[in-house]
Structures are given as C-alpha cells and as structure tokens.
Amino acid sequence: MKSASLPRVLPGFTLSLGYTISYLSLIVLIPLAAVFIKTSAMPLDAFWQAVTAPRVLASYRLSFGMALLAAAINSVFGLLLAWSLVRYRFPGKKLVDALVDLPFALPTAVAGIALTALYAGNGWIGRYLDPLGIKVAFGPLGVLVALVFIGLPFVVRTVQPVLEDLDTELEEAATCLGAHRWQTFRHVILPVLQPALMTGFALAFARAVGEYGSVIFIAGNIPMVSEITPLMIISKLEQYDYSGATAIASVMLVVSFLLLLAINGLQAWSARKRGQGPAVASGPRARPPEHSDRDSTSSTARERAQGNAAIGTRSRLAAEPRQGRSE
Amino acid sequence: MAATVSTLYSHHDRAALLESRQATRENPWVKGSILVAALSFFGVFLLLPLLVVFVEALAKGWGTYIDALTEPDARSAIWLTLGAAAISVPLNLVFGVAAAWAITRFEFRGKQLLITLIDLPFSVSPVVAGLVYVLVFSNHGWFGPWLSAHDIKIIFAIPGIVLATVFVTVPFIARELIPLMQAQGREEEEAAVVLGARGWQVFWHVTLPNIRWALLYGVILSNARAMGEFGAVSVVSGHIRGETNTLPLHVEILYNEYNFAAAFAVASLLALLALLTLVVKSWVEWRARRD
C-alpha cells in the first residue's frame, strides 16, 4: 500500500478494505447468493408455480398495494409534519420532533400488538370505527395502518433537512412578484422538495414491502385476503417447503435490488438539486468553508443524503460537527 | 446549560423568524389546519400506540406486571436479547469503522458499489434475511450435513439468532460514519502522519475524537434494532421457550396465548428501551451541535 502510485499518506488501506469486503461477503453477500443459487437449481415450472400460486399472487397485490398506499399517505402527512416542525412554533415541539423517530426505535412486534390493541373492535380507536362498519384490525386495512406507522419517519426525516436548508429569499422574491402563498408553495417550494419527497416515498415503500413484525399481528392473516408476501415465505418454511420459500424470497430480493437502485438514483438527484440548483441550501447557517476546498467533497452532499435517509436520521449530526470545525 | 438554552433559542428563533415574515408565513387558518392535521396524525399514529403499550401493561396491576417480567422464561429472553446485542453491536462497530475508513480515506474502484452493498440489509425483508441463514446452515442447507456431523447447531439455536441480528444491523454504524468522515476530509490525519504519528495513534487521537458522537449514535441505533429485531430472528430461532426466545419473540408467544397483560408488560420493557434510545439520540444530537 505504501508503493501506490499516488502518495497514499494514510495507513491501513489493505487492512480496512480487506476486512470490510470479507465481513460483508461472509455476513451478507454469500448468504444472499444462496437464495439465487438455490432458486436456479429449481426446475423452471416448479419455480413459476411457486411464485404465481393464487395465494402468493394475492399476497403480492396486498403487500405492494398497501405499501404504495401507505407511502402515499406518509408523503402527505410526513410533509405536513415536517413543515410544522420547521416553520411553526407550538407547545411540545421538541417532544414531537424526538418522537417522530419512534417507529425506528420501537421493535416491530411491540408496534404490532399496540396497533392491534388500538384498532381491535373493543380498542381505543376500534370501538368508534366498529359502529361505522369500518373494520381495521384483522383485515387489509390493518396492514395499511401498520405500514403507515413504520413508514412515517422516512418521509419526515428526508424532507425536514431540505426544508430547514431552504433559502427563504426565493419565497420573498415570489411574494414581491405578487404570487399568492399557494402559488409560491406550488411553484417555488414544492419543486425543491420534490426529490426529497420522492426519496422518502421510495424509502417508506421499500421498508413497507418487506415489513413483517408489525403487520402479522394486526393483519389477521386470512388466506387470499390479508396475507402479506413475507408471511407466505414463513408459511412455506413451516411446511418445510424450502424451495417454495426460496422462490418467493428471490422475487422479493429482486424487488429489493430494484428499489435500492431507484432510491440511489433518487438520492443522487435530490443531492444534485440541493447542491447546485438555484435554491442552494444555505439557509441561515453559514456554509462550511470546507465545502469548496476539499478534494473529494463533490460526493459529500450525496453521501450525506444517502446515509441519513437510509437510516432515517437527519443530516443534523453529520452537518453540525462540520460547522463546529469550520468556525 | 447555557448551550441548551441557546440551541433551543436558535431553533425557536428560526421558526419565529419564518412566522414573522410576510413572505414565509401562511394565514392563520391555513397554519391552524396544517398544525391540526399534522399533530392529529402524529397523535393517532405515534403517540397512541406508545401509550396503549403502557396502559395495557399495567391493566392488571403492578403485581402481574412484575411477575411477567421476572418469570424464568422472560428472564432467559432478557438475557438472550442482551447477549445477542452484546455480540452483534461490537462486531458491526468494528466493521463500520473499517468500512468508513476504507471508503472515506482512500480512492478505489467500485467504491459506490461497495456503499450500495453495505446498504443492502436495509432493503432486504427481515424474513428473507432469516431465510438465507436457513438455506446455508439448516439440515437441508449447504453446510447442514457437515454441521450435524460435528454436532454444531446454528439454526434453531443461539448462533443463528446472533447471525440474523448481525445481518440486519450491518449498515447502521457504517452509514452514520461515512458521510461524517467524508465531510471532515483526511487532512487532519495526513498532518498527523506527516508529524510522525503511527496508524493506531492517528486513529486514536485524531479520528476517534472527531467521530465519537456519530459513532455513539450509530451504536445506539444498531443496539435498538438488534434488541428489537423480530422477523429475521423469528425465522431462525425455532421458538424454544426459555432457550431460543428473544424478548420480541417472547412477546409474540404471550400474545398468541391471549396472555395480553404479560405480553404488554414485556413489550413495555422494549418500549422503554425505544424511549431511552430516543432520549440518548436527542442528547447526542445536542452534544454534537455543541461541540
């Protein structure tokens, strides 16, 4: 490593990269490859039968349909919540801000039984919906409620930092030019938020498609009606139908890969739009001077957006120490 | 303490500033409707589920609550959960630091691909994460015959639970460190090397102080996930009471036995852990801002 063509001052390249790749291969990549290797050993018609059985098809419809719907609901209310947190003062704001992350921290099984208790016929919410003929728990609507719960922070935490960094000068210019507030929002603010909103949507959707713990308690798991795709894998496994389970898992994995690619693309777009669009994200904070004089910071904004969005945390932590250092 | 007030004030100030300006505020009716919609949604979807856990847990009184947490199966579930997290978090800590060091301190081909691959466990369904280890280590799996010949049990035993927990928490710490270390750049470390510091000295005295809050943050997040993981662990555990039951699985068993008070009592323990995680997270964010 010392003999690399460019002067590589820092030590530990071989060690750290070697360890990273070996660890990732052993824990993640080789086991995941097992799914595809096992699937490729299946006869094609057996594979096709396993992944297109009516019950499995019904589970795709439910999982994907409800995940889409939940992500859409979260996009609307996540935006409202992020907007309220950034733009308004209200009592308990700090608490609300901290609790938005609850679905990340709360184990899914706990969320599952809590939501079931709320929406069951005699629950706090269920008892008011039941007389109206709306049955949430133990049906497809229950799946939707669980997926909304676990997806919410993804949208809030991707939109919030963008909204915080949003330059208000553009809004002032729009107002000076005679735009109504709604017009300003629609034509000035929303275009800047759009990539972040879509990223949040995609993250919430990706998480919802694979979600298991919070859903199985509230779904009721009625065949053809409220069975999600991950549950189909579990039920195949319980019948010792390993190849059937693997076939469905390979379909889900392909969907995960595609979503991951889409999310990466969206985040790159989002970072580009934040980084160089007319509405450069400077806000009231001083932009750290490192931004221009580091050699490899071109990808910084993107990495930041990715990292934070993936874990669903805010750019606060990543951004603040930089400011501290730059001052 | 002065710093808290000032950060509070600056955040407060920003919203106040935006509210005070004609160009960046909405009329009171619009503002009111947005707040009501956002906060009702928050109340129904986040606050009520949290509250109901504690209310249901104490529905039959403190006696039942304490009993549910101290019976032998619950105690063994607590120990197993703590143990699995105690193994998987340090493993992913070392991995996260190594990955962030390689990715942010050196240029190499395929870096973007590596970053994407580190993210992979986030987008894989937990059930699939459990299944992959079944395919590799179960009796019907790749190493099944060899493992059973040597009398080693991984699936439906503790090693499987640890492996599944490690899998789902792989990205947390790396994902926290990479953006931060990328932003900080490598000049400080390079200066240390030029001044004669050795590799570990550089890491210990230059890098670590710069990344400690992000590191702690990543540890907290991955710990919360490790202790709360359900789907992946459920596939590999085999649900043997008192042996391979983690806390979330214990909640499921109690719930399916219609022992709701006990299920919610154990769940409340996990909910407290989640609240503690959020408190520490807020504290770390505050410290990071102050530094």
Domain CATH number, residue B189:
1.10.3720.10
Both tokens of B87, joined, read 């193994």
Cβ atoms of A133 and A186 within 8 Å: the answer is no
Number of alpha carbons in the 13 Å side-chain half-sphere of residue B269? 23
Q: Has residue B239 got a pLDDT over 90?
A: no
DSSP 8-class letter at A277: S
Instruction: With CA atoms as reference, report the closest residue to A109 among B126, B193, B55, B136.
Output: B126
List the single residue in A with minimal CA-CA distance to B216.
A317
Per mean pLDDT, which range of A199-203, A311-315, B7-11 is the poorest?
A311-315
Distance CA B168, CA A216 (A): 19
Residue B107 and residue B45 share a domain: no
Residue B65 and residue B54 share a domain: no
Q: Would residue A148 count as lying in a domain?
A: yes
Residue B236 and residue B157 share a domain: yes
Residue B43 and residue B81 share a domain: no
Full residue range of the structural domain in which residue A107 is found: 51-228
Distance CA B214, CA B171 (A): 14
How do residues B26-77 score in pLDDT, each as one tens digit?
Answer: 888 999 999 999 999 999 999 999 999 999 999 999 999 999 999 999 999 9
B155 close to A (CB below 8 A): no
How do residues A238-260 score in pLDDT, each as one tens digit?
Answer: 898 999 999 999 999 999 889 88
Q: Contact A303/B115, CB-based, under 8 Å?
A: yes
Q: Has residue A4 got a pLDDT over 50?
A: no
Selecting from A152, A168, A231 the residue whose C-beta is nearest the C-beta of B24 gives: A168
Q: Would residue A105 count as lying in a domain?
A: yes
Residues of B in contact with A297 (CB under 8 A): 182-183, 185
Distance CA B251, CA B260 (A): 9
Residue B170 and residue B88 share a domain: yes
Distance CA A286, CA A274 (A): 16
Burial B188-200 (b: 16+ CB within 10 A, else e): ebbebbeeebeee
Q: Would residue A312 count as lying in a domain?
A: no
Per mean pLDDT, which range of A146-155, A177-186, A204-213, B8-17 is the poorest?
B8-17
pTM higher than 0.95: no
List the single residue in B with minimal CA-CA distance to A28.
B167
pLDDT bucket at B13, cuts 50 / 70 / 90 = low
Residues of A in contact with B38 (CB under 8 A): 77, 80-81, 83-84
B20 close to A (CB below 8 A): no
Residue B224 and residue B162 share a domain: yes
Residue B122 and residue B43 share a domain: no
Q: Would residue A76 count as lying in a domain?
A: yes
Radius of gyration of the CA atoms of chain B, in A: 23
Cβ atoms of A246 and A292 within 8 Å: the answer is no
How do residues B170-182 score in pLDDT, each as one tens digit?
Answer: 999 999 899 899 8
Q: Has residue B7 got a pLDDT over 60?
A: no
Q: Would residue A296 count as lying in a domain?
A: no
Q: Would residue B8 count as lying in a domain?
A: no
B 175-204 residues with CB < 8 A to A: 175-176, 178-180, 182-186, 189-190, 193-194, 198-199, 202-203
C-alpha distance from A55 to closest chain B C-alpha (Å): 18
Q: Has residue A310 got a pLDDT over 60?
A: no
Query: Quick one: B80 exposed, middle or buried, by C-beta within 10 A (0-12, 13-18, 19+)?
Result: buried
Mean predicted lDDT score pLDDT of chain A? 82
C-alpha distance from B260 to closest chain A C-alpha (Å): 9
DSSP string of A92-150?
THHHHHHHTTHHHHS-HHHHHHHHHHHHSTTSTTHHHHGGGT---TTSHHHHHHHHHHH
Q: Would residue A13 count as lying in a domain?
A: no
pLDDT bucket at A275, cuts 50 / 70 / 90 = low
Full residue range of the structural domain in which residue B184 is found: 61-289
SS3 assignment, position A1? coil
Q: Would residue A3 count as lying in a domain?
A: no
How do residues A172-224 score in pLDDT, each as one tens digit?
Answer: 888 888 888 888 888 889 998 998 999 999 999 999 999 999 999 999 898 99
Residue B46 and residue B139 share a domain: no
Report the number of distinct structural domains present in chain B.
2
Q: Would residue A86 count as lying in a domain?
A: yes
Residues of A in contact with B14 (CB under 8 A): 86, 164, 284
Dihedral sign for Cα atoms in the order A15, A18, A22, A25: positive
Residue B128 and residue B96 share a domain: yes
Q: Contact B182/A310, CB-based, under 8 Å?
A: no
Instruction: With CA atoms as reference, report the closest residue to B188 among B166, B168, B208, B169.
Output: B208
Report the number of distinct structural domains present in chain A.
1
Residue B249 and residue B175 share a domain: yes
Per mean pLDDT, which range of A165-179, A309-323, B136-150 is the poorest?
A309-323
C-alpha distance from A53 to closest chain B C-alpha (Å): 19
Dihedral sign for Cα atoms in the order B239, B240, B241, B243: negative
Q: Contact B122/A23, CB-based, under 8 Å?
A: no
DSSP 8-class letter at B238: -
pLDDT bucket at B244, cuts 50 / 70 / 90 = confident
Both tokens of A74, joined, read 């979260």
Task: Please give the share of chain B, as a percent, with pLDDT higher than 70.
Answer: 96
B254 close to A (CB below 8 A): no
- The whole-number average pLDDT for the span B137-152 is 86
> Which residues 6+ apart lie within 8 Å of A18 measured at CB?
none
Q: Would residue B1 count as lying in a domain?
A: no
Residues of B in contact with A189 (CB under 8 A): none
- Residue written as tokens 């009398």? B151
Residue B131 and residue B35 share a domain: no
Domain CATH number, residue A220:
1.10.3720.10
